[in-house]
Amino acid sequence: QHMFKLKIVMPAHFLRASGEERGTLFDAFSDAAQRINVYTAFDYIDIMRKLIEAWQLDKISGLNAEAEKARDYIMKFPDRMDRISQRIVIPEVGPQFKWLVPATAK
């Protein structure tokens, strides 16, 4: 529960292009990945649903109040993320990455 509330920071979040601020490259890269459907918020949601099912979180019993609240939070997380993800607007055109040069430009 703590990981979800504090947000999981992907190691790539700290990527940067030379001369750029740390973290700016990750946002552009994430937008590009979602735009071309390589890895989207919906993939993340699907993974969460599969893990919750595989771990059978709904069948765990004997939890104290804090653990019960944490489990309920995790169980509701995919639906919450789904609602948020449906409102995300991915730009149709993204930035050009410095290291990618079209074959026709060479």
pLDDT digits (tens, 9 = 90+) for 11-56: 777 777 777 777 678 878 888 888 888 888 899 899 999 999 999 9
- The pLDDT confidence band at residue 104, using thresholds 50, 70 and 90, is low
Q: What is the pLDDT of residue 97?
A: 75
Using alpha carbons, select from 41, 29, 50, 44 the residue that is nearest to residue 94. 29
State how far the Cα of 18 lies from the Cα of 78, in Å rounded to an integer: 36
pTM of the predicted model as reported, rounded to 2 decimal places: 0.70
Q: Say what the pLDDT of residue 13 is.
A: 76
In this structure, are residues 43 and 36 in contact, taking their beta carbons and an 8 Å threshold? no
pLDDT at 15: 76
CB-CB neighbours of 48 under 10 Å: 18
Query: Is 70 exceeded by the pLDDT of residue 103?
Result: no
